[in-house]
Structure 1
Amino acid sequence: MDLDLMDKVERLPKSPGVYLMKNKGGKVVYVGKAKELRNRVRSYFRDSGDNRLQVRFLRSNVADIDFIATDTEKEALILENNLIKQYQPRYNVKFKDDKTYVSLRLDLRKPFPRLSIVRLPKGAKKDGCLYFGPYSSARAVRETLRIIYRTFPIRSCTDTVFSQRDRPCLYYQIGQCLGACAGKEIKEEEYRQLIDQVILFLQGQNEELIRILKKKMEEESRKLNFEEANRIYNRIQAVEKTIERQKVVSSQLKDIDIFGFYREGKALAIQRLHIRHGKLVGGKADTFVQPLTPAPELLSSFLNQYYGSSYIPEEIYLPFLVEGSGVLVEILSERRGSKVQILCPQKGEKRQLVLMAGKNAKMAFQKDQGNLESYPDQLDELQKKLSLHNLPVKIECFDISNIGGNQAVGSAVRFIQGTPDKQWYRRYRIKTVHQADDYGMMAEVLERHYRQASVAENLPDLIMVDGGKGQLNIARDILDKLAIHTPDLISLAKARDDRLRARKSKGEEKVYLLGRKNPVILSRRSPALFLLQQIRDEAHRFAISYHKKIREKEGLYSSLDDIPGIGPRRKQQLLKHFGSLDRIAEATVEELQAVSKLNKGLAQEIFNFFHGNKGLG
C-alpha cells in the first residue's frame, strides 16, 4: 500500500463528512460518507478476513483520497447523494431514477371529470385535484385505468377532444362511456355518482363500493329498470374479480416498502416490494457489481438515492439496520412531510415480508448472474482491445434513422455499468438537413446533444456513433468544435440490412478508432463486442421507434392533404366533427355534407377518395 496514501488516511479528521476515492488518473471511483472520517476510511485498509477483497481492490484501484468535512452526519448523507449524482463513480451503487413517480389525477372541479396519468416531480405541489398512487410503474397505472374504463363508463378522452366533439365515439357505442361529450342524457349528478364509485375503487374501499352497488342494483330492479340493474351487476362482478387478483399481504392498511438484499462475491441484488393499503401492488429488483462497500453503508446510500425522487411510504422494512438510520429517518420524514419509520422486523408478519423480499432478491441475482459476472470483464476487455484512455463505465451511442432524408431523426442512448440509463435518452428530429445526408444529420444531432448544459456537465467515458470512418470523423469535428476532449470516441460499422453478407462475414463488425487507419475487428464471441452491439442496437431501436411514430403521425393527415379543395380549415372541421381519420373514411356522402360549409360535390370527392384508395396513409 502506498505510504503517502496511508499517511493521508491517518491525517483525516474525526469529524463527519464525505470521502472521495480516486484512481491514478484522478477520476473519482467511489464516494462514501462517515460519522468519523478517519475511522471509516482506515477500516478499509485492515487486512482482516472480512475485508480482504476491499484491501485488494484499494491496492489496485485507489491512488488518492480527498474528503469534505461536515458539521453533522445529516449534512454528510445529503452531500454524499449529491456527489454520487455529480461524479457517477464506478464503484458506487447508483439508483437510476427518472425524477418522477406515476400517479392518477382526478380534477373534481370540472362537471365531467376524467382520470389522467401524471408524473409528479419530487416536491410537486398539489393543485386541488385528487391524486391516487403513486404506482410502481407506468405499466401498473395503465392496467388500473384499463380495469376502470371497462368497469365504470366514465370518459377517457382529453379535455380538448371532449370540448370539440359533437357526436359520441366508439366507447359510447360499446357501452364503455356515457357520451357526455355529445350532449347525451347524462346529468352531472349521475356522472358524479360514477366518479364516487371510482374513487372508492382507487382507495381500496371495495367492500363499501360493493355495498353501494348492490343497493343501487336493488333500487333499479324495483323500478323495473332491468337493463340498468344488469349493468350494475356486471360492475359488481368486475370489482369482485379484481379483488380476487389482488394479493393481501399485510393486515395493516398502510403504505409500506420492503427491501430485500442478497450478495455473493462482488455482485449483489436489492429487491423492493411496494404495499399500498395492505395489498402488494408491485416491486422491482436492481442488480449491481460492487466489491467495496459494507452492506449497511451500501443499503443506506441506496435508500437515500431512491427516496430522493420516489414516493416515501409511512413505513420501510429492512433486512438489517443500515448505517445512520436515525439521520436517514429524519431526512425522509422531512421529505414526506410526516413521520417515517424504518424497521428491521425480527418476527411475525413483518419479518415474513422481509424474508419474501430477500428471497426475491436472490432470484433476481441468479437470473442476472451471468451479466453481473461478465460485465467487469467486458469493460476491461473493451478498454484493453481499443486502447481507450477511460474505463468505459458510461457509454453513449448515437444513431440516425431516415428514408431518403424524409422525417429524419436521431437518437442518443446511455448505458451505465452495462445497463440502460433511460433518464439520459434523447431523440432529435432533424431540422437543418433536408436530403439524404447521414454525415450532416449525425453532425446536427451531436452538436445539439452536447450543447445541452445538463449533458455537457455529465459527459460519458465513451462516445460511439453508428457507422464507419466518415461518421467517426464527423463526430471528432463536432466534439473539437465544442471543446469536448475527455471521452474516448469510436464508431461501429454494421451492414444492418444485409443479413446474408453478415452471415458470410461470420458476424464480424468493424470498430473504427481515431488515428488508426484500419479498423479493429473484435471476435464475434467477444464480451466487449456483445456490449457494443447491445448499446448500438438499443440506439437503433430508439431511433426507429421515434421515426415510426413521426411517420404515423404525419400519415394521419396526408390523406386529407391529397384531396383537392381540402385546406387546413376544412381539414380541422372534418377532424373536429368526426373525431378521427377512420371515422371520416367510413362516413357516407350525406354524413360528410353535415359538416359546415361542405357542399355535395366536395363531400362526394372525399367519399370517392377514401373508397378508391385502400390505405389511409
Structure 2
Amino acid sequence: MADPSSYRPKPGQIPDSPGVYRFRDEHGRVIYVGKAKSLRSRLSSYFQDLAGLHPRTRTMVTTAASVEWTVVSTEVEALQLEYSWIKEYDPRFNVKYRDDKSYPSLAVTLGEEFPRVQVMRGPKKKGVRYFGPYAHAWAIRETVDLMLRVFPVRTCSAGVFKRSAQIGRPCLLGYIGKCSAPCVGRVSPEEHRELAEEFCDFMAGRTGAYIRRLERQMHDAAEEMEYEKAARLRDDIEALRRAMEKNAVVLADATDADLIAVAEDELEAAVQIFHVRGGRVRGQRGWVTDKVEAVDTAGLVEHALQQLYGEESGDAVPKEVLVPALPEPVEPVAQWLGERRGSRVDLRIPQRGDKKDLMATVQRNAQQALVLHKTKRASDLTTRSRALEEIAEALELDSAPLRIECFDISHLQGQDVVASMVVFEDGLARKGEYRRFQIKSFEGQDDVRSMHEVIGRRFRRYLQEKQKAGEWSEENAVEAAEEENGHAGPVEGRAGLMDDRSGPVDARAEDGRPKRFAYPPQLVVVDGGQPQVAAARRALDELGIDDVAVCGLAKRLEEVWLPGEDDPVVLPRTSEGLYLLQRVRDEAHRFAIAYQRSKRTKTLRAGPLDEVPGLGETRKKALLKHFGSVKRLRAATVEQLCEAPGIGRKTAETIAAALAAAAPPAPAVNTATGEIMEEAGE
C-alpha cells in the first residue's frame, strides 16, 4: 500500500486548466483515468487526509504510485481524450459497462459490393449499418422476412453467394421473389445497392414517404388496368405495415430520441437504453457495471454516453437524448454529442408528458435488469461456493459456513424496537425460516442491548430444542430452562414470528415442539461494528455456545469486524465473499425495516385524532386523506377543517381544540436508515 504523499506533485506544479490525468501503479499500469475542468483543483482533492476520502477513492490512491496529466484547451477535448484513454488502457478503477446479455442487431453490410442483410452480435464493424439492438433474434428475422418482399436484398452468406454465381442458379429465395439474385446478374450492383439503401431508409424511420409512393403506384396501376401489378403493390404495402406494427408508436411527431435510465445500489448499477426512431422503439440494450469508483447517477450517465456514442457518428446520434440526471457540467457533453452528430443534440431530463412516461418504463426495465443480474450472480453454484470459501478463509473458520444467520435492529427514535433474523443456506435465502422479534423488555436507542437480547433469545430456543432431542445433559437443560423462565417467556410469545411472504406461521410441529430454531448456524452476522459484535459474542458465551462464529459488517466502509479484534478484516472490493455478506446484511436490514414500518403504520395512523371524542375511523381517514398528514392537519384553520368530507363546524372546532392541546412531536428519526420520518399519511 503506497503513501499518496510519496508521489504528490509539488505545490504550483499542477496547472489550473482543463485536462486529463492518469494514476499508475508501481508496475506502471494505468489504474484510473479522469478529466477535470481544473487539474489543480481536482488532483488536490485526491491528496487530502485519507480518512476524508471515499473508501473506493482511498483504495485507488493507495494502490497508485504516480500520477501524470495532459493539458487540453477545452472541456470537450478532455472528454474525448478521457474516452480514448479508457478504451486504450482499460483501467481497473474506472466504471466499465458490460452488456447484461448479448443483444442482436440488424446489420446491412454496405461496405461490400453486394450489401447483405443479416443478424449480428458483438462489436460493431466498419462499413456496416446497424439497426437495434433488439431483444430477440427471431424478432429481427420476422421483420426481415416481411420486408424482403418489398426490398429483395441479399441475405445469403459469402459461400452460398459464390456457389450460386458458379453454377448460374440462384438460391430458393431468388426463385420465390425474396432476393433480387445479384449472384446471377438479375440486377446490377448499382441497382442492388439502391435496394439496400432504400431498406436502410425504411428501417431508419423514413416510412411514410415510401408507403405513400407505393400507394400512388398502386392507384396508377389500377387506373391503367394493370391489376396484377396493383395487387402486388397492395401486398407490398400490407407487408410493410405489418412490419411497422411490430413497433408500437410511443412518441408523437416521429420523434428520434434515445432514452437512458439508471438503476443502482451501493455496489452495482444497471443502465437501460431505448432507441426511438420515428416515434417507435427500434431497439433496446442494457449494461451492468460494478461501481469501483465513487460515482453518482450523473457520473454513471456520462460514462454511459461516452460508451454509447464514443465510436458513433451521424444518424447514430439522435436529435434528442433523455437522461435521469445531467452530467456536471452538461455543456461540454452536449457539445461533444453535437460534434459527433454534426448538428445540435438536445440533452435533457424529461419533465412531463409521453416522454416522462416512457422514461418511467425504461427505468422499470433498468430496475428489473439489476435484480436479474443479482439473481443470476447469486444463483450460480460456482460463485456461491467461492464466496463461502472466501468467507471461511477471511474469518479463519474450519469449514465453509453453509448456514448463515444475520440479525438487524430497527426502531423509530427509540420506539417500536424490532429485530430481524434472515437465513441463508448454501448462499441462498431461505425465506421460510426468516424470523422477526419485537423488543418489549425496554425502549430506547440502544442497538447493542437489543442485539444482545435477540441473540440470547434465538439461541436459548436452540438449546431448548437440543434438550428435547436428547442431545443435552439434564443439568444444562435445567440451567437453560431457569434462564428462559427469568427472561419474560418463550420466544414465540414475544417475537411475533412471521414469514416474509405468507403471514403468521405456526412455529410448532405436530408433536407440539417448536421447529426451525433447532438448526444452529455456522456463522452469525450482525449489522454493525465492534459494539454489536461484542454484544452478540457475549450472549453466546453466556449460554455456553462456542461453536458458532460471529462477525459484523459495518455499512459505511463495508468492514468485517470480529470479536475481540481492534482492527477489522478488509475483504477485497471484488470479493464474492464480501458480496454475499452484503446481500445477507441488506436482506436483514430490509426485513427489519419492513416490520418496523408495518408497526409504525398501525400505531401512528391517526395520532392525536384518536383523542377527539365522537370522531370515528371513517372521518379520521377522510381527514388524513384530505390534508395528507397530521402535520398539515394541525396547521389547518376551522374553516379549512370544514372543507373535509363529513366535517361540520362544531366537529371542526372540537378537532382544532384537541390538536391545539396536543403537543407536536419531535421529528422522528429511523436509526436503521438515518432518515427523518414524516408523520402518518405523509
Q: TM-score, normalised by structure 2?
A: 0.45
Larger Rg: 2
Q: TM-score, normalised by structure 1?
A: 0.49
